[in-house]
Amino acid sequence: MGLSIGIDTLLVSYGGQTDKTEVTVTEPADVAIDPITAIIPSTNSSEWESNILVFPNPATDIVTVTIPYDGIQTPFQITLVNSFGEKVYDQLGTMPISDNRFSVNTRSLAKGVYILVLQSGNKVVAKKIILN
């Protein structure tokens, strides 16, 4: 799927649901979604994307997500999707000024491969995590 310069719409389907997100594209981009790794490239901030940390991976009880703070209290959403495409965790929040770490409790989730999707403003990134 190709994205054009300007405002474009990105549709993400999982578990029978489809989420629509408007993104601002600053340069043409091809988006490839692999059903296992669900790679969704950030449309305008590869530096922001590369500074997102998800650890430990593999994990057992808690996954910590570190989001780069850009000086603005931006709303964000963290979603976990299992290998069947079902949304199993969803957290909305606002970037705090002092701490940019968030814990995701995974104790009740089955062992397996999950996709953690992080959306903040017009930036979307997905990371594969493994729960043991």
Residues in Cβ contact with 131 at an 8 Å cutoff, skipping those fewer than 6 apart: 58, 59, 60, 106, 109, 110, 111, 112, 114
pLDDT in the model for residue 67: 82
In the chain, how long is the greatest CA-to-CA distance? 42
**Which residues, listed in sequence order, are joined to residue 66 by a DSSP beta bridge?**
53, 101
Q: What is the per-residue pLDDT for 75?
A: 84
Bigger pLDDT: 129 or 75?
129
Distance CA 89, CA 14 (A): 13
Most confident of the following: 27-31, 37-41, 117-121: 117-121
Q: What is the mean pLDDT of residues 50-65?
A: 91
Closest-CA residue to 26 (of 3, 47, 48, 52):
3
pLDDT at residue 78, as a whole number? 92
pTM for this predicted structure: 0.63
